[in-house]
Structure 1
Amino acid sequence: MARPGEKLAVALEVLSQLQNDGKVAIRSTDLSRLERERLIEAGFLREVIRGWYIPARPDEPVGESTSWFANFWGFCTAYLAERFEDDWILSPDQSLLLLSGNRTVPRQLLVRAPGGRNKPTALIHGTSLIDTNLALPPQSDRTQTDEGVRVYRIEAALISVSPQFYASYPTDARTALATQRDASALLERLLEGGHSVVAGRLAGGFRNIGRDRIADDIVRAMKSAGYDVRESDPFADRLDTPLPRDPSPAANRIRLMWQQMRERAIAAFPAAPRLNDAAAYLERVEENYVNDAYNSLSIEGYRVNAALIERVRDGNWNPDLNPADREQKDAMAARGYWQAFQAVKASVQRVLAGEGGGKVADEEHPIWYEELFAPGVQAGILRPGELAGYRNSAVFIRGARHVPMSPESVRDAVPVFFELLQEEPEPAARVVLGHFIFVYIHPYIDGNGRMGRFLMNVMMAAGGYPWTVVPVGRRAEYMAALEQASTEADIGPFAEFLGALVAEQMQIGA
């Protein structure tokens, strides 16, 4: 008779084969009843709706949403394909969000499908799906994302969205408009559909982002065809700096976020103090090390204390011990943090000597990252090549609806991010947006939070602000503020959170 562990192992083999076959949404019919029950009981399978499941991790706490948000798009695609085969598509609004690079999991996914039920299907973690009984657009107006999600082509979506889209999602709307190199693809659809009102709105939108040539071409062509076109700007405000001719949605998204958020970040921050004495500043940084390491590592879930931090700082750790041991993992993380901290201190020294913080961070952040994970290489659990460059696979943030950029988009976004960091004249904006946008992009598989806080403190030094520690006791507030900025484009809570921490440090040092 097979032992319970052997029975679970058999069920796991079946689940593994399903995942190897590319299945994200697991139907009850894909498994036997006993296999399904064993996997659910062991925490490897989680029910989304009756008869439909997703793979999960047994170590996820009750109520944890990471598995669901990581599998959301794959699950919905498989579920909709099972119900409607190829006869479904996301709404124009949701299509435009995805195509502009906004991968945030929506609270309610709107889908068009002939035969839809016109009522919501409750999913898990506060999400739902509603399939509306509406006709599909012509085949020429449809496409798919890399994940197989059926969406409107971007030109068709721009024509189909309501004026409210521009008010609700200005960054996404501008990012989508900026993908158009000329007016030809839009004009074909505008003229065939007789969309004179939409043409006027699109012309105003293009002029808003500095694409006057496209705006003029739309108005001229529509008027030549006999349509009365009245140009109107659908956005509530104008850009301070027109977008360059860059078709990359990721690059333009970062530019737009920076413009949109910088004033709010500056307003929430105390005025930059006079530059500190370099030697005294570095001495205070060193005094902060244990407190900084404890809080930063604890925020990421490592179990560390002052004694462990001091021990690894002195080199009393053994990389040859079992790397799967929890205490050893914590020790390696602490050792890596100490090594990275030394590299960051060297960067701070350059900044205090007068070099620009953005330039220094651009040049040296790869060194911080290499040092952060060097103990893993020494222990043989990481290959040296894994520390070279940015990530090559998708990554998800625990418990967050925000889904970071694809690996391809990271390579477009990071250079623009560092250009903006170097060009920004206001120290407060460099501190707040330097931290936030770095972790929004999430350029590495791991360590992005620690890297973001290192970068934040280099920007602090560049502005004369004191080295500032984010306390682990305020982790929930910190993470909620980051999520608010990522999913709702509201930088206010995060800027106010950091501004208050800095003000406390300035008062202590006064």
Structure 2
Amino acid sequence: MSVKQASELWGISDRRIRILCKEGRIPGVIKEGRQWKIPSDAQKPSDARLKKAESLYSDIKNKMQQLTKLRSLTAGELERLNEEFMVEYIYNSNAIEGNSLTLRETDLVLRGLTIDQKPLKDHMEAIGHREAFRYVKSLVSEQLALTESVIKNIHYLVLSDKMDDRGVYRKVPVRILGAVNVPAQPYMIEPLMEQLLTDYSNSTEKLITKIARFHIGFESIHPFIDGNGRTGRLLVNLELMKAGYPPIDIKFTDRLAYYNAIEMYHSKGTLSAMEDIFAKYINEMLERYLEILSNS
């Protein structure tokens, strides 16, 4: 059978099947010119990527169990870790959106200093992001449900440099250059956000899948004129921390993988790429906590 026939039979993309053929993952396959010929009785290969993801989720579960058996972080240790995380998180999340402050400059701005020849906007974004992160931490301690009001409050703090647009849904249509997805028209934002929150609340999927789906849905609606990425990533951490997981910091250096994960969902309906990003960062943060507690 042809690649196209195998694709229809197995429910995976043509491109993925060509990769499997090239890697020798389908027994009996032959190549004639530029075409792959697949035995008609060939079985769909197991997905090594799925096994890798399942292994990672198992690691996360085991690490969470290990943490419960160790002493808790002291207030001082927790505060120090949170401050270090917050500076790196604000730097990376802002940098993904085009902020020009370096990690060191972000730290200095959060300490109250002004960086020469850097825009006031970049300073305000760092300070506003800090206030939003602190607000998210307060929400975690109160275990408040995720609502439109909470989302607007977070956005209000994030968008410290645009007074008229803070905490309000946009009133004009927008496009994201080069993206497959077209953000919602303004009149559709409110009903789509209500549906997104209802679906999230009713979801029975595992937590990482549930949050990944919500995050892509939020970014796809693009409810605000600016600050959607920063707000969306704060919402991810809000829900992770409410569930007892550590917050995650998607690195500026991983921004292409992050953008591609969103695009992959829109072009192929695949959520796994974003799930894998979240799971990887959760696993790394848990390893960091375990290392600190195990060596103390």
- Regarding TM over 0.5, the answer is yes
Counterpart of 2:248, as a letter, is T
Are the counterparts in 1 of residues 169 and 224 from structure 2 also a CA contact under 8 Å? yes
Q: Which residue of 1 aligns with 2:26?
A: none
Q: Match of 2:82?
A: 285
The TM-score, its normalising length taken from structure 1, stands at 0.41
Question: Aligned pair 1:305/2:102, yes or no?
Answer: yes
Aligned residue number for residue 159 of structure 2: 373
* Secondary structure of residue in 2 paired with 1:469: coil
- SS of residue in 2 equivalent to 1:303: coil
CA distance in 2, matches of 1:488, 1:339: 37
Q: 1:269: Cα distance to partner? A: 4.2
The equivalences for 1:220-231 within 5 A come to none
Q: State yes or no: 1:403 paired with 2:182.
A: yes
State yes or no: 1:507 paired with 2:293: no
Q: Quick one: distance in 1 between partners of 2:272 and 2:136?
A: 27
Deviation at 1:366, TM superposition (A): 1.3
| Structure 2 counterparts to residues 451-466 of structure 1, below 5 A | 451-466=231-246
Secondary structure of 1:288's counterpart equals helix
Cα deviation code 1:39-73 (max 9, x no counterpart): xxxxxxxxxxxxxxxxxxxxxxxxxxxxxxxxxxx
> What amino acid is aligned across from residue 141 of structure 2 in structure 1?
Q
Q: Distance in 2 between matches of 1:468 and 1:484?
A: 21
What are the equivalent positions in structure 2 for 1:24-423 lying under 5 Å apart? 269-270=57-58, 271-272=60-61, 273=64, 284-317=81-114, 327-351=119-143, 355=144, 359-360=145-146, 362-374=148-160, 376=161, 382-384=162-164, 386-423=165-202
Query: Contact 1:333–1:372 at 8 Å: present in 2 too?
Result: yes
Aligned to 2:269: 489
For residues 447-478 of structure 1, what are the alpha-carbon distances to aligned partners after superposition, in whole Å with 9 as ceiling and x for unaligned?
11111110111111122221111011111111
- Equivalent position of 1:194 in the other structure: none
Partners in 2 of 1:283 and 1:435 — Cα distance? 28
Partner of 2:3 in structure 1? none
* Higher CA-based Rg: 1
Name stretches of at least 5 consecutive residues in structure 1 with no aligned partner.
Answer: 1-163, 169-262, 377-381
Matched residue SS, 1:467: coil
Once the two structures are TM-superposed, the CA of residue 395 in structure 1 deviates from its matched residue by 1.7
Per-residue deviation, 1:288: 0.3
2:220 and 2:79 map into 1 onto residues whose CA distance is 29
Deviation at 1:445, TM superposition (A): 1.0
* Higher relative strand content: 1
For residues 281 and 395 of structure 1, do their structure 2 counterparts lie closer, same or farther at Cα, with a shift above 3 Å needed? Answer: farther
Relative to 1, partners in 2 of residues 1:439 and 1:424: Cα closer, same or farther, differing over 3 Å? same
Q: Does 1:429 align with 2:209?
A: yes
CA contact (8 A) 2:110 2:127 kept: yes
TM-score for both structures, normalised by structure 2 = 0.68
Q: Which amino acid aligns with 2:81?
A: R
| 8 Å Cα contact 1:468/1:505 also seen in 2 | yes
Deviation at 1:390, TM superposition (A): 0.9
C-alpha change, 1:440 and 1:269, in structure 2 (3 Å) is: farther
| Distance change (3 Å), C-alpha of 1:443 and 1:281 | farther
Structure 1 position 387, deviation (Å): 1.9
The amino acid that maps onto 1:339 is E
Q: Is the contact made by 1:282 and 1:345 (CA closer than 8 Å) also made in structure 2?
A: no
Is the CA contact 1:397–1:403 (under 8 Å) kept in the aligned structure 2?
Answer: yes
Unpaired stretches in structure 2, ≥5 consecutive residues: 1-7, 13-49, 291-296
> In the aligned structure 2, how far is the partner of 1:284 from the partner of 1:348?
17
Q: CA offsets, 1:368-414, max 9 Å, x none? A: 1111122x2xxxxx343x22421111122243121111112211110
Q: Partners in 2 of 1:341 and 1:388 — Cα distance?
A: 15
Distance in 2 between the 1:491 and 1:389 partners?
A: 28
Percent of aligned pairs with the same amino acid: 24
Amino acid in the other structure paired with 1:402: N
SS of 1:497 mapped into structure 2? helix
Structure number with higher relative contact order (C-alpha < 8 Å, ≥ 6 residues apart): 2
Q: Which has the higher helix share?
A: 2
Instruction: Classify 1:327/1:435 alpha carbon distance in 2 versus 1 (closer, same or farther; 3 Å).
Output: same
Structure 1 residues 489 and 415 mapped into 2: Cα distance closer, same or farther (>3 Å)? Answer: same
Q: Which amino acid aligns with 2:156?
A: E
Contact 2:159 2:226 survives alignment (8 Å): no
C-alpha distance in 1 between matches for 2:221 and 2:268: 15
2:293 corresponds to: none
1:341 corresponds to which letter in structure 2?
A: F
Q: What whole-Å deviation, never above 9, does each CA across 1:116-154 have from its counterpart, x for those lacking one?
A: xxxxxxxxxxxxxxxxxxxxxxxxxxxxxxxxxxxxxxx
Q: Tell whether the 8 Å contact from 2:208 to 2:278 is kept in structure 1 after alignment.
A: no
